[in-house]
Structure 1
């Protein structure tokens, strides 16, 4: 009996399962999240999506064949007992691998629902996230118990499928054992299998350079951003994340980053002249042109958790879940920017960037001990001290989460106030923090005891998954609030909409109160990042979120001296434009301050962050070549593609490199 030939056939039989399973998962993903009502006209793109995805997945799936041959078939040639248990070993190994594929698929489905993207670098930011909240979101928002129980039927189906594959009839060997033909045949099968493994793993070629990768996705697929995301198998996406850690910047040398930093420097500091300064931040020293408003006693920077822009757009007005924000914008002394990009893709990178005056750039500055002891001169509270302001960070949760009780004082905050400490002990709360209305009411009460110029950085928490607040008790009734559309929302969407309604109501009541109580105040309201609680198909013909919806957060600013001309006609802005805007509004002429970006009081033609870019017409992500218009549309958005490299990537890399440089050189940080 030819043990090698018999075992090798079984290796090929089980090899069939993984690519079939990946194709099934790809199909489910496409059917669940497809952004179009039908696939008419998508036939060619779908074909190439599956074809290219098949070969891409072989980067992992091909190992099923190779490892089974090496660790099961070949040892079985020399050990009869091993040969006898060979199928059991194949069954066990493949079942484990198939369940790994299923786990990655479940994670991708959740990740896409949350971020409208396949696995990306945001995964790394979860390592310091509040784990209780992540578990709560998994079990409450995404029915985690059901997903865990699904392993039983799925495992049984996979077990049965593998048994069927192992029972495929085998072709007997025609060569007599011990003959030259026997050994020649087996040798050819062995060599052929090795070659076939490389052929599969290299994407249907024998050239490693031709392996499937993101940049080489067929253009017909890449033009469809959804199918380009469906194309990549889940393990391949996770591998890309693994090979691009957040702290990769720290592996750079100064020589690596010098040309990148040089590219973002003002003209007089280019050609490495900035290296003659005590810190690269010194190159971004700006001079205020003189106050545009009467200097306020209080400055409020209010950051609403997930307080996104798109729900303020006209197509979504029937939802009525951000009517407070709309009312604020109708005030004749409020100005707003509808195309406003955050400093980070998630809460903490945005919060940190707004505080520190430099981009967090995925380096989690708030968790770095050097940044608990010092900061750059660009930090907002440090600079406001020069104008006589004390600074207080008011957080709706526990500031020890994310080490903000250490980071905030380092960037110049005189006090860090956590709602878990100053709100009543029996206050209702989520895993993230105290309910917004209680937090903000207590904050308003404590403000009355402050009688000196103060900058208040206020960050709410309630508008966060898993959306399990008692909405009826909090006043939300879907059929009353959104009578025209309530029946179109799923149960989960009802909860998300109600939470938005509640958070908006609490936030805007607070804004109204402080404007009434402190009428000379400068009040800035923004969100920490975008959020996607309600699909476009609920109120528009479009099924997929636009780039603008997935990227942009909200921004509005009030002072009683404002009129619509204050923003110089700008239709774009970002978190990092807030700091210079504050100083250009209130600082005396000639006041020196540090800011990476210019203020909103001067015309802006484009803005770049380590994650996104925006100009007066389009918006996109730095890591992608695709982009879309910023015009609000109810129909399918047209996606465009840059030829070659993203023209904004070098500038983005420069800002990231600057942060990396400062992390590598803690001696440049100043003790507050």
Structure 2
């Protein structure tokens, strides 16, 4: 009986060799696809350490292949001979399922990195409420989804052949002893060793759980390079970490704990702790411009600051916006952080007046019943404005049909509703120029005489970039005559840039028309977040990875006939959360009371903090990666400082405010 267990464990161990090899191959493929330097020449120590540490860290999951086979096959097979005969088939089936899981996670990593220049992070958790049709559209049309699905066939076939070869390797014969005592002693020792070997591999070559490989222990030779620091960690390890981060810690805190965490942003003692929003009460200094009849906030999909940088001048992506910015009455800020890393938390943060902090306030049904004191549309209504929300897509996206009215908008319009179901559209929404033409038409035809505020959110500058750009006016020879020939031949990349160009042209055409019709209008143009539109691998710049400002900064420009650049001469950094108070300070009468969690752009701002990033006049940092980099335009890759978390207490306080609000839903007013 024990001889069958002895033979079975050896089969278990043979198969357990394959998953670490697959993970190493996936790590190598990831490096070869996305890293600038493809060979270990001159840095063998870094490569070997990356693969060595990655192997041991990955065993936290891979060791279970061995345990699965031993517990579900070898142990019962020792008692049931008929089951023992099919043991290799059961082992192999389990291994192939796990191999498919590894491959799926790896393919997902490649796609995620392609879009976000990062391995799996918290943004993945926000996908559960996203439009699954849009995901499918991007997967099949931008990321060659059909070929990816077909690749499973040879992959599984190769895994089957490799595992069959491993199982066919000769095994050590079961040793026999002259006395039963020695035989039992060997059997006991082997059984205990079979169990111990699982723990030894799972704990990274040690029996001490506390010494398991972790991010903090990654050798500095690997971690000091951002990319290799990402390559060292296997996909299932990342996904496990994300799984445990589902519930934001602030949602589980007591009020006493929240008071301490929010202390850096609250002023006013016990009353402020019990009623945090009182500390954000402000009084306007008096209108700085003539009150505009129309206020437009254009919230443009993926309108990133990096596309304005001189490095990419020859691509002409933002020529329309650059012309808009040149006007003497337009001010722009080149270092501007969004309220979220993707669309949904950005828009929720801006209109609600507090950071969404990835808690998906728009999907929380309690937030469908009222608005916070910091609500942007509600406070503009107090100044006499009718508030309108225009979105190029369906209002069912992210439950906007419920959230937008509750946050204070009088009216809301979805692109398919106002443009017709047959209007040309992507999965996200109606083509920008068609959508914006209809918005303009409806604004012009509106009989309401009240001043109006229009929040306009576009959709077209988004993967899979399949719009008929040539029909929409994009002539590559006229628009981008200096485009490198290699980039010209890469249709996937230049279509991404064509999308940015088209969206910018459409938005600025709308602004120009509204300016002509309503000369006293106030315009704010910003993006929902940054985007990976820049072609870093076509000799435009000598690197393949974006600098942090390119990864995180969105655009910002503001225009009105009474604005002068001297009014904002000290405004060099800002964020979405500075827009609300700036609007109020521009148009509100003296002593008008309003609520804003951050100051206006008229006040000196020496640093900006969001739940994701921080920024000073000369540096920018990211909290999730704990890295810092100089805040300047550079063709070269700027040095990265690791283990940096400036203003961490303030960042925690902003997140805590959102968690406290979710726990104290009575702050909402219907």
TM-score normalised to the size of structure 2? Answer: 0.96
Q: What is the deviation of 1:396?
A: 0.9
Contact 1:622 1:648 in 2 (8 A): no
SS of the equivalent of 1:293 reads: coil
The corresponding residue for 1:304 is 300
Shifted more, 634-643 versus 222-231: the winner is 634-643
- Per the TM alignment, residue 250 of structure 1 is displaced from its structure 2 partner at its CA by 2.4
Q: Is the 8 A contact 1:53 1:231 kept in 2?
A: yes
Judge which range, 537-546 or 301-310, deviates more: 537-546
SS at match of 1:529: coil
Aligned to 1:528: 528
Task: Compute the displacement of 1:533 (Å).
Answer: 2.3
Q: What is residue 648 of structure 2 aligned with on the other side?
A: 649
Structure 2 equivalent of residue 144 of structure 1: 145
The farther-off stretch of 126-135 and 610-619 is 610-619
Contact residue 611 and residue 622 of structure 1 kept, 8 A: yes
Indicate the SS of the match to 2:537: helix
> Is 35-44 or 385-394 further displaced after alignment?
35-44
1:488 and 2:486 aligned: yes
- Out of 270, 283, 286, the position equivalent to 1:287 is 283
What is the CA–CA distance in structure 2 between the aligned matches of 1:303 and 1:68, rounded to whole Å?
54
Matched residue SS, 1:6: helix
Give 1:215 shift: 2.4
Structure 1 Cα separation of the partners of residues 41 and 629 of structure 2: 22
Q: Cα RMSD (Å) of the superposition?
A: 1.6
Q: Look up the SS of the partner of 1:536 in the other structure.
A: coil
Deviations 1:376-400 (A, max 9, x none): 1100111111211111001111112
Structure 1's 424 and 89: CA in aligned 2 closer, same or farther, altered over 3 A?
closer
- Check if 1:45 corresponds to 2:46: yes
* CA deviation after TM superposition for structure 1 residue 566, in Å: 2.0
Tell me the SS of whatever aligns to 2:183: helix
Partner of 1:185: 186
Structure 2 match to 1:658:
657
Q: 1:59 to 1:37 in 2, by over 3 A?
A: closer
Q: Kindly state the Cα deviation for residue 39 of structure 1 after the two structures are TM-superposed.
A: 4.4
Farther off after superposition, 432-441 or 255-264: 255-264
Mapped to 2, the partners of 1:238 and 1:390 lie a distance apart of: 45
Deviating more after overlay: 9-18 vs 288-297: 288-297
Determine the C-alpha separation between the residues in 2 that align with 1:176 and 1:3: 16
- Cα 1:419/1:158, change in 2 over 3 Å: same
Deviation at 1:452, TM superposition (A): 2.1
| Residue 668 (1) aligns with residue 667 (2) | yes
Aligned to 1:510: 510
Question: For 1:312 and 1:151, how far apart are their aligned partners in 2?
Answer: 41
Q: Within 5 A, what are the aligned runs for 1:37-116?
A: 39-116=40-117
Shift of 1:246: 4.8
Does residue 471 of structure 2 align to residue 473 of structure 1? Answer: yes
Please show how residues 626-641 of structure 1 align to structure 2 within 5 Å: 626-641=627-642
Question: Gaps (5+ residues) in structure 1?
Answer: none
Distance 2:41 2:597 in 1: 47
Whether contact under 8 Å (1:36, 1:544) holds in the other structure is no
Residue matched to 1:456: 454
Write the distance in 1 (CA, Å) between the matches of 2:375 and 2:40.
Answer: 51
**Contact 2:203/2:209 (<8 A) preserved:** yes
* Greater Cα offset, 298-307 or 443-452: 443-452
Task: Give 2:419's aligned residue.
Answer: 423
With over 3 angstroms needed to count, the CA separation of the structure-2 counterparts of 1:520 and 1:570, relative to structure 1, is same
The total of aligned residue pairs comes to: 664
User: For residues 340 and 519 of structure 2, what CA distance do their matches in structure 1 show?
Assistant: 32
1:275 is aligned, of 273, 283, 288, to 273
In the alignment, the residues of structure 2 paired with residue 296 and residue 506 of structure 1 have an alpha-carbon distance, to the nearest angstrom, of 23
Structure 1 segment 93-492 matched on structure 2, within 5 A: 93-176=94-177, 179-266=180-267, 269-270=268-269, 272-276=270-274, 279-450=275-446, 451-489=449-487, 490-492=490-492
1:229-255 deviation digits (Å, cap 9, x = unpaired): 111100001001100015553233323
Q: Give the Å deviation of 1:47.
A: 2.0
Indicate yes or no: 2:626 matched with 1:625. yes
Using the TM superposition, give the Cα deviation of residue 553 of structure 1 relative to its aligned residue in structure 2, in angstroms.
Answer: 0.8
Q: Work out whether residues 292 and 521 of structure 2, in 8 Å CA contact, stay in contact via their aligned partners in 1.
A: yes
Q: Is the 8 A contact 1:261 1:658 kept in 2?
A: yes
Q: Per-residue CA shift, 1:456-514, capped at 9, x if unaligned? A: 10000111111111111111122332122252222211221111111111011111111
Find the aligned partners of 2:419 and 2:289 in 1 and give their Cα distance.
34
Query: What is the distance in 1 between the residues matched to 2:179 and 2:370?
Result: 76
User: Is the Cα–Cα contact under 8 Å of residues 338 and 576 in structure 2 kept in the other structure?
Assistant: yes
Alpha-carbon distance, 1:356 to partner: 0.4
| 1:394–1:456 CA contact under 8 A, matched in 2 | yes
Greater displacement, 352-361 / 245-254: 245-254
